[in-house]
Structure 1
Amino acid sequence: MESRDQSNLQLKKASSCYSSIIEKKQTFSPSVIVIGGGFGGIAAARALHDASFQVVLLESRDRLGGRVCTDYSFGFPVDMGASWLHGVCEENPLAPLIGKLGLPLYRTSGDNSVLYDHDLESYALYDIDGKKVPQELVTKIGDVFESILKETDKVRQELSEDISILEAITIVLERRPDLRAEGLSHKVLQWYICRMEGWFASDADTISLKYWDQEELLSGGHGLMVRGYCPVINTLAKGLDIRLGHRVTKIMQRHNGVKVTVEDGRTFVADAAVVAVPLGVLKAKRITFEPRLPEWKETAIADLGVGTENKIALHFDKVFWPNVEFLGVVASSSYGCSYFLNLHKATGHPVLVYMPAGRLALDMEKMSDEAAANVAYMQLKTILPDACEPIQYLVSHWGTDINSLGSYSFDTVGKPHDLYERLRVPVDNIFFSGEATSEKYPGTVHGAFSTGLMAAEECRMRVFERYGELGQHPAIGEESASVSIPLLISRV
């Protein structure tokens, strides 16, 4: 009798153990660590969380958004990082979310603006003596600049090796005396080059002739996020396990997953990791990979360019400038030119944003915030003598900020365009996202967002394949299509 009881007990234990195994199998929950809380990381974390992954997002800053930073110090939102939706159309992957949230956009250009983010009907340019440049001259030189850029394509086709866009412009002007400009016209041409440098966040002598125009531009022009990007970030982050102030220093691949170490020594383990940190941070090797990343991946990180464009937002107690979208100062070199975005026209708030790029931006980062704001103000005072002093100011430092070390990526001279794709390709169970991994839309918020979704889907497939459960879970984005809400677009 005792033997039978023991036997029954063993059977119960075995049955209990077997039931436990079945239960574990049924409740299998894969895990992932997302590193970086910008749009690439947030998009990946949101998608994987919604796909029933256990997600932990580690962010080094004390806020989310990364190089998207909506500041409320003035009492209203001002984006000190990314502020445009490039491509105000339904094809933009961010459009459905922005539409659902009812966030207004202010369109600053159509599809064919030579300035990329502005049309020419809403500008005011001045020379360094404060004299306004005639609109006819700005329009004329704008046409000249477009012609020069078209001519650089001929130079590109003739050369077997890559050169900078600035070298190509020089060659064009040597060949085509009719496109040369002198005096004030030359200064206006330099201002156009300055704006082009702002688009790439780098100087024209570093930008690849071969690939400068390879980015795909979505239709619909460019729209300023009137209320800033913060509401979009907050919506995507809702309900996620987010750890702020967690600076990752090491990512270790193990036979059954990854182990991630943060600055204070704490560790996190999961089935996979999504690396969504800025290119500048990867370039600086702030994160150690163990084992080392493959040589092709390290080469992609080293060879992709990362530029710097900063913002100095000046808040005034009244509007004293003309009702145009931007103000500019022309000079004999692009380095000496200035560009001010007029937020009052788009948002109703008396704010001008000075936007230096390339070497000028890096040089100004060496100054104190007060000195940098004063430089911007003095530029304004030069062209508008009645300018009053700002009551507040904000200064970004994307080039020297340890969390970014640059603003966004671009194609450097002599390097292949497929570096973006190489940076995106996973290394086993480590996946990559962010604007620098978008071959189609580098340097854009929607580029970062779309690569986050791609990384999430690749991660989902890899992890479920490993556990033999791929067919049991729907692909990310396969849910029934939601109602499309039109974007709220204005143009004053």
Structure 2
Amino acid sequence: MDSQSNKSNRHLQAAICYSGSRHAASPSVIVIGAGFSGIAAARALHDASFQVIVLESRDRIGGRVRTDYSLGFPVDLGASWLHGVCNENPLAPLIGRLGLPLYRTSEDNSVLYDHDLESYALFDMDGKKVSQELVSKTDVIRQDHSEDMSMQRAISIVLERRPDLRLEGLAQKVLQWYICRMEGWFAADADTISLKNWDQEQLLPGGHGLMVRGYLPVINTLAKGLDIRLSLRVTEIFRHHNGVKVTVEDGSTFVADAAVVTVPLGVLKSNCIKFEPRLPAWKEEAINGLGVGLENKIVMHFETVFWPNVEFLGVVADTSYGCSYFLNLHKATEHSVLAYMPAGQLARDLERMSDEAATNFAFMQLKRILPNASPPIQYLVSRWGSDENSLGSYSYDIVGTPHDLFEKLRTPVDNLFFAGEATSMDYTGAVHGAYSTGLMAAENCRMRVLERYGELDIFQPVMCEEVPVSVPLLISRM
């Protein structure tokens, strides 16, 4: 690895002209992070004839996209939906051309975000099924407030001011399940989610589609032919007026004209990467001001299917912490699999357990509503919060911070460009958001570097334009 790193260092260093004269070789860029945004940026810059090297701390590409095959079939332990099953989605052309099937789990404006009410089963803690009529009548009215506050506090205020909306008994538990699903969408607890900004995200039309074969084929296609160096953890990024120098954990250094930083927000918050000179105050404000949520998956593979033929199973309880949510992957994949998906504090508490203990906890929740459930024969547990390469699942607006922090996080600093789901104003927490920001960072980087050396061609088409999709998306609804 050392010899490869030194060879790469010499190769990239030859591409930099510190004297300020015109390039003798192709411009060069270092992309830090091989998640969707990093691979998208590297692909675009590579195709624009830049010398590109990708440095990735993991031993695999994908970042918070992780398709696992150890059960004998693909299961996404990270991102698994295409949010917005439509040709307007920037990932649609690629997914369509690859012929990857999608399973639509909701139509437009689903009240449960990634699921409709038409294919669910809710149970109380005693295993009794909750009627659909009761679920449909449970709603919370959003009130306008002059100051920002948490969603939890706002709900409490609404119920205090409107006695007619107060719920008791089973109806109150159903309300807590709604809050549980909102916490799952933001991967955060309701007492930290901003009331003012919680609905600033834009939802593309077409509802939500589950990637039946996983996201790995998509990112593998984007990564073909790229120079990607795995297991290289970046520790320092030094920038000056005409180049960058990146140092990795073993002391090796890489130099280039510019760098695209796509590491997760949780990693930026940990300060494990030193920026020299220090990032400006407005950039640090964005890093520190945005929230990083946590949602995990405990995937349980069973011998046979013993649950109802619905898209998800829910357990209502007195608090959102006590509620449960199981995604039925059998409907989409025909494999006898349920995925338990805890978020917020519950997800953090489960990460303190062993894989076996966490799986047993999820299974006991299932046994509450299905007493005859048989134990899983295999299981998988994600740990995005304790994973040093992610330190969280995805970003969200916390109480009291402006929504434009996402834009500030994306804004370049000299010859450092930033991308990732946390830099997307409109599609935070989504794969297509990460992908789009990778393309934007690449285009900004290309223009800035070529402008510096007087090689910018105003007649050259923008490289992130997509060819219109000619292959329809393969969408099913069983």
Question: Larger deviation: 272-281 or 177-186?
Answer: 177-186
Higher helix proportion (structure 1 or 2): 1
Q: Distance in 1 between matches of 2:98 and 2:468?
A: 13
Of 36, 46, 51, the match for 1:49: 46
Cα pair 1:327 1:340 within 8 Å, conserved: yes
Q: Note the C-alpha offset of 1:289.
A: 0.2
Q: Distance in 2 between matches of 1:26 and 1:212?
A: 47
Cα pair 2:48 2:463 within 8 Å, conserved: no
Q: Which residue of 2 aligns with 1:118?
A: 115
Q: Distance in 1 between matches of 2:465 and 2:444?
A: 17
Structure 2 counterpart SS, 1:402: coil
Q: Note the C-alpha offset of 1:472.
A: 7.4
Of 129, 133, 144, the match for 1:155: 144
Q: Distance in 1 between matches of 2:165 and 2:262?
A: 44
Cα pair 1:51 1:476 within 8 Å, conserved: no
Matching residue's letter, 1:87 = G
Distance 1:305 1:26, change over 3 A: closer
Matches within 5 A, 1:219-230: 219-230=205-216
Matches within 5 A, 1:161-310: 161-310=147-296
Q: Distance in 2 between matches of 1:171 and 1:425?
A: 37
Distance 1:483 1:365, change over 3 A: closer
Q: Distance in 2 between matches of 1:122 and 1:71?
A: 26
Asked if residue 33 in structure 1 is aligned to residue 22 in structure 2, the reply is no
Q: Percent identity?
A: 76
Q: Distance in 1 between matches of 2:197 and 2:466?
A: 38
Cα deviation 1:209-263 (Å, max 9, x = unaligned)? 1000010010000000000000001000000000010110000002320000011
Structure 2 counterpart SS, 1:204: coil
Where structure 2 has 5 or more consecutive residues not aligned to the other structure, the ranges are 1-20
Q: Distance in 2 between matches of 1:402 and 1:475?
A: 39
Q: Distance in 1 between matches of 2:285 and 2:98?
A: 40
Q: Distance in 2 between matches of 1:443 and 1:25?
A: 40
Asked if residue 107 in structure 1 is aligned to residue 114 in structure 2, the reply is no
Asked if residue 486 in structure 1 is aligned to residue 475 in structure 2, the reply is no
Structure 1 counterpart SS, 2:457: helix
Of 136, 140, 145, the match for 1:139: 136
- Give the root-mean-square deviation of aligned CA atoms: 1.4
- State the aligned residue count: 458
Q: Distance in 1 between matches of 2:458 and 2:151?
A: 51
Q: Which residue of 2 aligns with 1:94?
A: 91
Structure 1 counterpart SS, 2:470: coil
Asked if residue 59 in structure 1 is aligned to residue 56 in structure 2, the reply is yes
Q: Distance in 2 between matches of 1:39 and 1:252?
A: 24
Structure 1 counterpart SS, 2:399: coil
- Structure number with greater Rg is 1
Distance 1:352 1:478, change over 3 A: closer
Q: Which residue of 1 aligns with 2:330?
A: 344
Q: Note the C-alpha offset of 1:479.
A: 6.7
Cα pair 2:22 2:453 within 8 Å, conserved: no
Q: Distance in 2 between matches of 1:233 and 1:26?
A: 32
Where does structure 1 differ by over 4 angstroms across 4 or more consecutive aligned residues?
24-27
Asked if residue 451 in structure 1 is aligned to residue 437 in structure 2, the reply is yes
Question: Larger deviation: 429-438 or 105-114?
Answer: 105-114
Q: Distance in 1 between matches of 2:464 and 2:95?
A: 20
Where structure 1 has 5 or more consecutive residues not aligned to the other structure, the ranges are 1-23
Q: Note the C-alpha offset of 1:140.
A: 2.1
Q: Distance in 2 between matches of 1:478 and 1:244?
A: 26
Q: Which residue of 2 aligns with 1:461?
A: 447
Matching residue's letter, 2:450 = F
Distance 1:234 1:480, change over 3 A: closer
Asked if residue 440 in structure 1 is aligned to residue 426 in structure 2, the reply is yes
Question: Larger deviation: 85-94 or 129-138?
Answer: 129-138
Q: Which residue of 1 aligns with 2:309?
A: 323
Cα deviation 1:40-74 (Å, max 9, x = unaligned)? 10100000000001000001001111001000010
